Chain A
Amino acid sequence: MPSKLSVNIGRLRIENPVMVCSGTFGYAEEFRGLTDIKKLGAIVTKTITLRARAGNPMPRTCETPAGMLNSIGLENPGIDKFIKEKIPVLEKSGVPIIVSIASDQDIDEFPALAKKLNKINAVGAIELNISCPNVKHAHKVSGGGRLIAQDAQATSDIVRSVRKATRKPLITKLSPNVTDITEIAMAAEEAGSDAVALVNTLIGMSIDVVARRPKIAQGLAGLSGPAIRPVAVRMVWEVYQKIKIPIIGMGGIMDTESALEFFIAGSSAISVGTANFINPRAATEIISGIEKYLRSNKIDSIKELTGSLKCRS
């Protein structure tokens, strides 16, 4: 029965195709009692960097029409403290842990982080966050001020360097802030990524007209929530035409119906993000919703739904 929902991300088999997005589920302990954590397909952690990061100044978030902006700035305790303090807590859930990693100064930090995670069995996969819009990258490889995920060559170089450092499945998280997301997705596939996750937040801005200041201290911030869903679905559909590796779809998924859109567009799995803040049970409700949908439509496996969009001619 569970095989109906199970999918593979590289060598990682997950019992159901519903995960929670990096940065929206804390380190899972925040959700204890609020949702049945062990039912999740996988948990993607808050992005971890080599050194601890204090994060950006306040205000860091604001509400926007059917969405929100955030510029947290990858606040995290650093990889060593994360392994020591957070992994044991995450491990207890029994759910595969996908650790999101990013560099904050030098791209060599990506393989260094991956090596530190190699020994930890509970880590089912590694997600490369090359698309966070809220940290200033000084990476030579991507050119000053650009995201790695905005450059196919830079994306390829990072994936290759991490591929050499670990045998864990690699998920490359892509940015929607590009002209053609399929180019970046193909670069990630070609460089050895086991899956791609899309989309990260759209870069946005909101202004307090009384103060004539940006509502977020950093000015620019990442837009998430239902407001970005159609953009995300479109990008999943575009990428699905061009690559063979699994797509993990995300961007404003709030409920079963919005999750199904992503499968039909080409996702093998989906991830619930902003919805966790509003309805902590969103992801588990979606799991039962998908089961029900498959049953009532007599579909044997979620895999049959992936990319099943009927195009209008």
Chain B
Amino acid sequence: MGTEIYQERPKITGKKYFGQDYFNLSLYCPTISRKAKPGQFVEVKVSSADDPLLRRPLGIHSVKGNSFHILCEIVGRGTELLSGKQPGGYLDIIGPLGNGFNFRHPASGIRHPVIVAGGMGVAPLVFLAEKLKETKNSKSKMPISVLIGARTKKQVLCEKEFKALGCDVKIATDDGSAGFKGRVTDLLKYLLRAAILKPQAIYGCGPKPMLKELAVICKKYRVPAQVSLEAHMSCGFGACLGCAVKTISGFQRVCKEGPVFNAQDIIWQEDAV
């Protein structure tokens, strides 16, 4: 158990808005930036007051040298307060937390990885694409494919970032305002059935019903899939036992044994909200 966790007060070095509801903070934090693995997250204190009381778990979005980014959607009072933080200020964070994706293929690197993101699920997957690109077998001609699902065109996030990494990006929106009309899992099903994609590994992050569907598809097409679960957490480092998920080997902590699980290990029926 040599994984190090730090409580730090990094400086906010940049802030970018995407529309009204999304923002990206860059944090200068050598310790966490160097140790972080894709799929890991940090716990952020959004206010120094006792209310809201708990930290907010946010996926590590991207790492550049000694800095890392978090991407956040304003969904409630906690994220609203966080959105008020400005460059030059400091943030109380704990991380890196959780297990992260396993993205190294034993021998040659994963030849054709496919990333499937639903909604805010894109947040940790950009970091994953960065790492996959670094470690990918250079002889492989297949790019990293990324499927992004969102409600409408306005909610499609990180398309540019993935493209800048050389990924082949496909979009699905519920209302058809961009790309494929339908759910991102329907798009994946179509691409697999038509053999347009022949992935050796699928990485997913998004709402639970989407990940459940992803598990079903991956089982059918016999593709190993890792999914990163979202959960309400009280601590984020395994102490409170509040964020457990039912798996084939009993309850596991989303924050500690996860948030990344093999899709087939999760008992979805009892837990799909």
Contacts and interface: CB of A to CB of B under 8 A. Distances in A.
Contact of A24 (B51, B53, B240, B250): B240
Contacts of A277: 54-55, 234-235, 239-240
Given A59-B232, A278-B45, A65 B51 contact: yes
Interface string A26-43: 100111111000000000
Contacts of A23: 240-241
Interface stretch (A67-75, A234-242, A303-311): A67-75
A72 B240 contact: yes
Contact of A225 (B50, B239, B241): B50
Interface string A69-106: 01010010000000000000000000000000000000
A133 interface: no
Most buried by B among A29, A32, A60: A60
Select the residue from A23, A55, A58, A75 with max chain B CB neighbours within 10 A.
Answer: A58
Contact of A30 (B238, B245, B250): B238
A124 interface: no
Contacts of B243: 58, 60-61
Contact of B94 (A32, A63, A254, A280): A280
A54 B247 CA distance: 12
Interface stretch (B1-9, B118-126, B155-163): B1-9
A23 B250 CA distance: 19
A62 B232 contact: yes
A178 to B, nearest CB: 25
Chain B interface residue count: which class? Answer: 20 to 34
A54 B240 CA distance: 14
Contact of A34 (B5, B250, B271): B5
A145 B117 CA distance: 46
B244 interface: yes
Given A33-B4, A33-B5, A70-B234, A61 B52 contact: no
B251 interface: yes
Interface in B227-267: 232, 234-235, 237-245, 250-251, 256
Nearest to B240: A277
Contacts of A254: 50
Contacts of A75: 241, 244, 251
A30 B3 CA distance: 11
Interface in B3-59: 4-7, 45, 50-55
B270 to A, nearest CB: 8
Given A55-B244, A75-B251, A281-B7, A63 B54 contact: yes
Nearest to B78: A63
B103 to A, nearest CB: 25
B176 to A, nearest CB: 27
B239 A274 contact: no
B244 A24 contact: no
Interface of A: 23-26, 29-34, 46, 54-55, 58-63, 65-68, 70, 72, 75, 225-226, 254, 274, 276-281
17 contacts: A30-B237, A31-B239, A33-B4, A58-B245, A59-B232, A60-B243, A61-B242, A61-B243, A63-B53, A67-B53, A72-B240, A225-B50, A226-B50, A254-B50, A277-B239, A278-B235, A280-B94
The 5 A-B residue pairs with the shortest CB-CB distance, nearest first, are A61-B242, A277-B235, A26-B239, A66-B51, A226-B50
